[in-house]
Structure 1
Amino acid sequence: MLVLVVGPSGAGKDTLLDGARAALAGDGAFIFPRREITRPAEAGGEDHLPVDEVQFDAREASGGYALTWRAHGLAYGIPADIADDLALGRTVVVNVSRAVLDEARTRFGALRVLVVTADPEILARRLAQRGRESAEDITQRLARAEAFAVEGDDVVMVRNEGTPEEGVARFLAALER
């Protein structure tokens, strides 16, 4: 099954994904592919595969990605080889933009969407703490979070407002449903 992880900036998606990846290490039934992003490796944030715009465009044109999107001045791609893992019956867990959910549902059929969320005050505090966005950027990200409603029978909400350990436990429970 394909599991798409979405949620607003500051919800803690990377923290929960890292925790789940560690908890499920050695369990070949769960795959956590790294995204390719047009962002330098040293820019911080998630462990991703850095590519430049030319590389990204070439891979996208040649079918090298299962899903792509652009946000915040960057391009993001999920490697196409996730199809091999899905064909082998593995659960593939990827962090994606809410903007690609409809495309993913069309292309992959049955999937699960884990929406990681937290109260707006918590999101604002986390965004400020990571120090990558200006106050105006944080306001825009919070407004964007309010504008996107994720709905469907395949949606599972994961509130991440406590400790990282509590969030990871909720995330793992949602994965194993």
Structure 2
Amino acid sequence: MAKGALVLVVGPSGAGKDTLIAAAREALVGDGRFVFPRRVVTRDAVAELEDHDSIGREGFEAARRHGAFALDWEAHGLCYALPGSIDAAIAAGRIVVANVSRRVIPEALRKYDRARVMLITAEAVVRARRLAGRGRESAEDVAARLKREGAPVPEGVTPVVIDNSGALERGITAFIAALGRIAAE
């Protein structure tokens, strides 16, 4: 049986993580090796910008207490989680691909034998344009988000780095190729 893995997609806001994941999900729709779970987030989803299941804070805490999540974390004043169903997918040899916070990497590495980190980057000017285009934050909030690079990838972790500053097709191609390499390990 193929070995399952958890691909932790991380990077600064506006780097294009969700865009690359959505493109890979579409391109790999017939490839049963890959699973793209919906995150659970304590924020309403904007359909054209995000793909997650929304939940209130109380519901999130109740689900956490009942073991509904494989991994969970807090970032930017919100709670995030990956559903417990990813454990069965990984055990069945599938590659689970998810956008997560860098803060959850140490826990994921302890929990999963085959956790791989994929760091998506983009130049600050590109990220600023993308964040402003979302329309979720004021110009001041966007500027503050750009100043906050986030936690570094933990020491000893060598991520696959994809620069998503240029043409989207180039980023998508690099992302899907990296997933293929992980699946072939």
Specify the TM-score bucket, using the shorter chain as the normaliser.
Answer: over 0.9
- Aligned match of 1:139: 143
**Structure 2 CA distance for aligned equivalents of residues 44 and 165 of structure 1:** 19
TM-score under structure 1 length normalisation: 0.93
Match 1:149 to one of 147, 152, 155 = 152
**Structure 2 matches for 1:10-159, cutoff 5 A?**
10-42=14-46, 45-145=49-149, 147-150=150-153, 152-159=156-163
**Structure 1 CA distance for aligned equivalents of residues 46 and 7 of structure 2:** 28
Report the 3-state secondary structure (helix = DSSP H, G, I; strand = E; otherwise coil) of the residue aligned with 2:93.
coil
Matched-pair identity in %: 52
TM-score under structure 2 length normalisation: 0.89
Q: Which amino acid aligns with 2:80?
A: Y
Report the 3-state secondary structure (helix = DSSP H, G, I; strand = E; otherwise coil) of the residue aligned with 1:176.
helix
**Structure 2 CA distance for aligned equivalents of residues 150 and 15 of structure 1:** 21
**Structure 2 CA distance for aligned equivalents of residues 42 and 20 of structure 1:** 20
Runs of 5+ consecutive residues of structure 1 not aligned to the other structure: none
Structure 1 residue 81, shift from structure 2 partner: 1.1
Query: Mean alpha-carbon deviation: is it higher for 116-125 or for 35-44?
Result: 35-44
RMSD: 1.6
Across the two proteins, how many residue pairs are aligned to each other? 176
